[in-house]
Amino acid sequence: MIVERPRDLRIKKIAAHGFMIIFLILILFPFFMVLSISFREGNFSVGSIIPQNPTLEHWVLAFGFDYTRDDGSVISPPYPVMLWMWNSIKIGLAAGLGVLAIATISAYAFSRIRIKGKAAMLDGLFLIQMFPTTLALVAIYAIFDALGEVSPVLGLDSHMALILIYLAGVTLHIWTIKGYFDSIDTALDKAAAIDGATPWQTFRHIFLPLAVPIMSVVFVLAFIGFINDYPIASVLIRSESQMTLAVGSRLYLNEFKYLWGDFAAAAILSGLPITVVFLIAQRYLVSGLSDGAVKG
Amino acid sequence: MSSIADTPIANGPAWPRLVMVGLGTLVLLFAAFYLYQLAQPLFGAILLAIAVGFAIIFGANRFYGARFIFPGVAAVLVFIAFPVIYTIYIGFTNYSSFNLLSYERTIEVLTSRGAVDPATEQPFAVAQDGEAYRIWLPEAGLLSDPVSLQGPDSANLAPAEAPASLLERREAIKLRSGLQGLSLTSPDGTIIQNAGLRTFASVTPDYVRTGPDMLTKADGTILTANHQTGFFEDETGAQVPPGWRVNIGWGNFERVFQSEGIRGPMIGIFVWTFVFATASVALTFALGLTLAVILQWEHLRFKAVYRILLILPYAVPAFISILVFKGLFNQNFGEINLILNALFGISPNWFTDGTLARVMILIVNTWLGYPYMMLLAMGFLQSVPEDHKKAAALEGASALRVFFTITLPQIIPPFLPLLIASFAFNFNNMVLIFLLTRGLPDVPGTVIPAGETDILASFTYRLAFDNAGQQFGLAGAITLLIFLAVAAISYANFVAMRRAAQKRAGR
């Protein structure tokens, strides 16, 4: 590229690294604090960044075990974090797989099969996708309140209801996968058709194997989205044993019962798996995000 | 492109598929019928529509292509389009915690209330008599005629010996709904009813249904059903709760636009929603782009390390990060104020001062959102041709000049739809507002709870779910107003998308 004077270059390098390091310190500050708080005694955060009397109390509680303090008193876990995490994972997996199945099949149809009114339907899906489900919360509440009288499985406080609502989040993912299918050479499905394959067989044996990378991206994105949902879950779920992590975590920082230390340990514990999955998948996530978003 | 007409649709005979489709349709139809029976005609109708759609699309060969998209479209229609329409419908009703029930349920509730005459109150037991039951009143020594306990019923009591065997109390409790509809006439003519889990007594009902839309109170007052307000009212217009849901037309909208106590805070919230969404997009975009440009610089080392560390805020689940910040910003024992206090001797009231609370929300949202912009910018920056930049630099343009005249104009078009989408996302970013401030601090002197940091969506949520008088109707009306705003945004995004796609295709 352009030749730069070595002295200018060195100053620029120092400036860039300096900026990066100061910025990172600011950005990573919350992470260090939470880690430190989780090892601190008590539930208030007075103390230095490196805990003076480190304790594992909050961690033991976060894993759901009783903790015996030095003076012999036994502390019980305030909330069932592991149960909440399991609820979140269960709902995320079920809804994620459902979304994946619906989105992949629909995307294939939108990309390859001739359907009347396809363009209009695609436009409609795109417009609807902009309306977040959170806006229809009042109706969702009323609907499931009424359905609960038919069967509690479909009513408030049920995981099934939550999964059904999450399935509606399929639109964005149809677009992402369709963008991927559009980039596959049409010669492939023509060849399959000449060999006598039905569209379903073409999908099942040609497109599905090809779509594995984009499907894993969509699955991770959908899964993370469902784990992160707060508004819908908070409206539909009421009892403590049915809560997801996002709904339950809030209880820790109640004005009248402020469990800062316990929250810190529980937060690290429950955030870790998702963070790891995300960091592994991030390269593919980016291409998935921008491909799906921009291909018209 | 292959079309359906010249490709074989399915191998093998058609009848196994038709049998499956028939069975599936039958199951759906049965479910629809079941819902009708349970007084849920709306859901019954939806299931009926799904059943018909399923039968047509999977039964007839000419709709082969639609089979693939049927599940997706059905899910969107049932779980997005229907709730949206239903929300708008609720916006035209008085549905609230005062008008929660249906008309029939309201009458049931009112007529089932009554004053128990303590003089006649006595314990009872239930005896099985073949398929039917008899009620045994040990104190009076009376036994009833056999009753089925299936809905409202009446029977006479007659003196008798105690039955040989009586049901256990928990068995009797299972029959409660049947017992409640039962009235017994003793030999002296008094009518007694089930007055609790353990007793029968003569009950004077507070209200008796005396006409199609009329109830008579115990003291003789006549109440008529007012289907405009959804309440039973006496001549003076005094309302008797509970009420039922009725259609009140534009009433909720009139309240929104005419009541100063609602309109005032709503305008404030509307403006803040736009400021919040715009500022969030601008800040995250500027920061993300700056970082991406620095990370692209070829002379920078440790790029991979920087990148992973910079992405971390995006990787951690948002609800955890937001709650972490809620703790860190805490006025009295939050780390941020501890540090500010140690360095500058100040400790701002992040949660009780409206302006500071808004600043805090923007800080947290920028922290949460910049990695997404950075990741996208890194992708788009790669598509800017290197020789354009080189040429400009050779002409003597400074690095900043190159960035603003060459790079930025090239990445804005593909970025635009994503910026609008991000705007729409923040426009409804309930998770952030809810977990961080819950919309607080409240604006003083308003009719309905409205917070300084409330955005439209969280304001609606609080109206519907968070305060004592759950105002679903009003919330539905405001939701419709938000829909209109979102529709405008999504149309803008749609147009921007199209332009970006055309530009790509043209290149």
pLDDT the model gives residue B289: 92
B482 to A275: CB separation less than 8 angstroms, yes or no: no
Mutation choice for B interface testing from A14, A19, A138 by most B CBs within 10 A? A138
Q: Take residue B422 and report the two structure tokens written for it.
A: 């991000």
Kindly tell me if the per-residue pLDDT of A45 is higher than 60: no
Which residue, chain included where needed, has tokens 């090892």? A39
pLDDT the model gives residue A48: 55
A231 to B461: CB separation less than 8 angstroms, yes or no: yes
Do residue A198 and residue A273 come from a single domain? yes
Q: Choose the weakest-confidence range: A28-32, A193-197, B129-133, B323-327.
A: B129-133
Q: Residue A141, Cβ neighbours under 10 Å: how many?
A: 21
Q: Take residue B175 and report the two structure tokens written for it.
A: 């029959």
What does the longest C-alpha to C-alpha distance in chain B come to? 116
pLDDT tens digits, residue range A73-113? Answer: 777 778 888 888 889 889 999 999 999 998 888 888 888 88
The Cα–Cα gap between B465 and A232 comes to 12
Do residue A168 and residue A248 come from a single domain? yes
A294 to B504: CB separation less than 8 angstroms, yes or no: yes
Mutation choice for B interface testing from A85, A259, A294 by most B CBs within 10 A? A294
Least CA distance to B76: which residue of chain A?
A168
A271 to B376: CB separation less than 8 angstroms, yes or no: no
Kindly tell me if the per-residue pLDDT of A180 is higher than 90: no
Q: Could you tell me if residue A143 is inside a domain?
A: yes
Contact between residue B248 and residue B89 where contact means Cβ atoms under 8 Å apart: no
Q: Residue B154, Cβ neighbours under 10 Å: how many?
A: 14
Per-chain mean pLDDT for chain A: 80
Contact between residue A130 and residue B490 where contact means Cβ atoms under 8 Å apart: yes
Residue type, B89: Y
Tell me the chain B residues in contact with residue A23 when contact means C-beta distances shorter than 8 Å: 291
Interstrand relation of B182-185 and B153-159 (parallel, antiparallel or unpaired): parallel
Do residue A227 and residue A122 come from a single domain? yes
pLDDT the model gives residue B11: 57
Dump the DSSP string for chain A: -----HHHHHHHHHHHHHHHHHHHHHHHHHHHHHHHHHTSSSSS--S-SS-SS---HHHHHHTT--EE-TTS-EE--SS-HHHHHHHHHHHHHHHHHHHHHHHHHHHHHHHHS--TTHHHHHHHHHHHHTS-GGGGHHHHHHHHHHHHHH-GGGSTT-HHHHHHHHHTTHHHHHHHHHHHHHTS-HHHHHHHHHTT--HHHHIIIIIHHHTHHHHHHHHHHHHHHHHH--HHHHHH--SGGG--HHHHHGGGEETTEE-HHHHHHHHHHHHHHHHHHHHHHHHHHHHHHHHHHH--
Tell me the chain A residues in contact with residue B320 when contact means C-beta distances shorter than 8 Å: 249, 267, 270-271
CA proximity to A100, closest of A185, A159, A158, A176:
A176
A13 to B83: CB separation less than 8 angstroms, yes or no: no
Which of A30, A168, A275 shows the shortest C-beta gap to B75?
A: A168
Q: Which residues contact B136 (CB under 8 A, 6 or more apart)?
A: B124, B125, B126, B127, B142, B143, B144, B162, B163, B166
Do residue A26 and residue A85 come from a single domain? no
Nearest 5 degrees, angle CA B209-CA B211-CA B212? Answer: 105
Do residue A177 and residue A251 come from a single domain? yes
Q: Could you tell me if residue A184 is inside a domain?
A: yes
For residue B242, give Cα distances in angstroms to B91, B95, B96, B295, B463: 20, 12, 11, 64, 20
Task: Tell me which long-range contacts B492-499 makes (C-beta under 8 A, separation of at least 24).
Answer: B492/B420, B493/A130, B493/B417, B493/B420, B493/B421, B493/B424, B494/A123, B494/A126, B494/A127, B496/B416, B496/B417, B496/B420, B497/A126, B497/A294, B497/A296, B497/B417, B498/A296, B499/B413, B499/B416
Q: Could you tell me if residue A119 is inside a domain?
A: yes
Do residue A33 and residue A89 come from a single domain? no
The Cα–Cα gap between B399 and B389 comes to 9
Do residue A109 and residue A184 come from a single domain? yes
Which of B7, B482, B500 shows the shortest C-beta gap to A199?
A: B7
Q: Take residue B8 and report the two structure tokens written for it.
A: 């074989």
CATH number at residue A173: 1.10.3720.10
Q: Could you tell me if residue A271 is inside a domain?
A: yes
> Based on the structure, what is the number of domains in chain A?
2
Kindly tell me if the per-residue pLDDT of A293 is higher than 50: no
Do residue A29 and residue A86 come from a single domain? no
Q: Choose the weakest-confidence range: A23-32, A217-226, B245-254, B416-425.
A: B245-254
Q: Please state whether the peptide bond connecting residue A51 to the residue before it is cis, i.e. omega within 30 degrees of 0.
A: no
Do residue A147 and residue A200 come from a single domain? yes
Which of B68, B309, B418 shows the shortest C-beta gap to A106?
A: B68
Least CA distance to B302: which residue of chain A?
A17
Kindly tell me if the per-residue pLDDT of A134 is higher than 80: no
Tell me the chain B residues in contact with residue A33 when contact means C-beta distances shorter than 8 Å: 324, 328, 335
pLDDT the model gives residue A97: 92
A114 to B38: CB separation less than 8 angstroms, yes or no: no
Tell me the chain B residues in contact with residue A134 when contact means C-beta distances shorter than 8 Å: 428, 430, 457, 461
Strand (E) or helix (H) holding B193: strand B191-194
Do residue A2 and residue A99 come from a single domain? no
pLDDT the model gives residue A289: 57
For residue B12, give Cα distances in angstroms to B3, B17, B59, B423: 20, 10, 15, 52
Do residue A31 and residue A118 come from a single domain? no
Contact between residue B331 and residue B420 where contact means Cβ atoms under 8 Å apart: no
The Cα–Cα gap between B387 and B394 comes to 10
Tell me the chain B residues in contact with residue A245 when contact means C-beta distances shorter than 8 Å: 317, 319
The string over A203-231, giving b where at least 16 C-beta atoms fall within 10 Å of a residue's C-beta and e elsewhere, is beebbeeebeebbebbbbbbbbbbbbbbb
Q: Take residue A33 and report the two structure tokens written for it.
A: 């604090």
For residue A119, give Cα distances in angstroms to A45, A114, B72, B291, B313: 57, 10, 15, 38, 38
pLDDT tens digits, residue range A248-288? Answer: 888 888 777 778 888 888 888 888 887 887 777 766 666 65
Q: Could you tell me if residue A46 is inside a domain?
A: no
Q: Take residue A287 and report the two structure tokens written for it.
A: 């291409």
Residue B156 — φ and ψ, nearest 5°? -95, 150
Give contacts of A 55-94 with B, CB under 8 A.
none
Residue A67 — φ and ψ, nearest 5°? -120, 130
Domain extent for A27: 1-38
Measured torsion, CA atoms of residues B332, B336, B342, B346, in degrees rounded to the nearest 10: -70
Q: Could you tell me if residue A72 is inside a domain?
A: no
- φ/ψ bin of B300: left (φ > 0), alpha (ψ from -120 to 50), beta (otherwise): beta
Do residue A104 and residue A158 come from a single domain? yes
Q: Which residues contact B220 (CB under 8 A, 6 or more apart)?
A: none
A198 to B321: CB separation less than 8 angstroms, yes or no: no
Q: Tens digit of pLDDT per residue, chain B (507 long)?
A: 444 444 455 556 677 778 888 888 888 888 888 877 776 777 788 888 888 888 888 877 777 777 888 888 888 888 878 888 888 888 888 777 777 777 777 777 777 777 777 777 777 778 877 777 888 877 777 777 777 777 677 777 778 777 777 777 777 777 776 777 777 787 777 777 777 767 777 777 777 777 777 777 767 777 777 777 777 777 776 777 677 777 777 777 777 777 777 777 888 888 999 899 999 999 999 999 999 988 888 778 888 888 888 888 888 888 888 988 988 888 777 788 888 888 888 888 888 888 899 999 999 999 998 988 888 888 888 777 888 878 887 887 787 888 888 888 888 877 887 888 888 888 888 889 988 888 778 777 777 778 888 888 888 888 777 765 677 888 888 888 888 887 887 788 778 777 777 776 665
The Cα–Cα gap between A269 and A64 comes to 11
Q: Could you tell me if residue A191 is inside a domain?
A: yes
The Cα–Cα gap between B340 and B358 comes to 18
pLDDT the model gives residue A98: 92
Answer whether B33 touches A (CB < 8 Å).
no
Cα of B487 to nearest chain A Cα, Å: 8
The Cα–Cα gap between B7 and B3 comes to 7
Which of A109, A127, A282 shows the shortest C-beta gap to B65?
A: A109
**Is this prediction's pTM over 0.80?**
no
Tell me the chain A residues in contact with residue B40 when contact means C-beta distances shorter than 8 Å: 146-147, 149-150
Task: Tell me which long-range contacts B59-65 makes (C-beta under 8 A, separation of at least 24).
Answer: B59/B18, B59/B21, B61/B9, B61/B14, B64/A113, B64/A199, B64/B4, B64/B9, B65/A109, B65/A113, B65/A114, B65/A115, B65/A199, B65/B4
Q: How confident is the model at residue A295 (pLDDT cuts 50, 70, 90)?
A: very low
Contact between residue B378 and residue A286 where contact means Cβ atoms under 8 Å apart: yes
pLDDT the model gives residue A5: 73
pLDDT the model gives residue B2: 41
Which of B35, B68, B505 shows the shortest C-beta gap to A113?
A: B68
Q: Could you tell me if residue A107 is inside a domain?
A: yes
Least CA distance to B84: which residue of chain A?
A136
The Cα–Cα gap between B36 and B50 comes to 15
Answer whether A170 touches B (CB < 8 Å).
yes
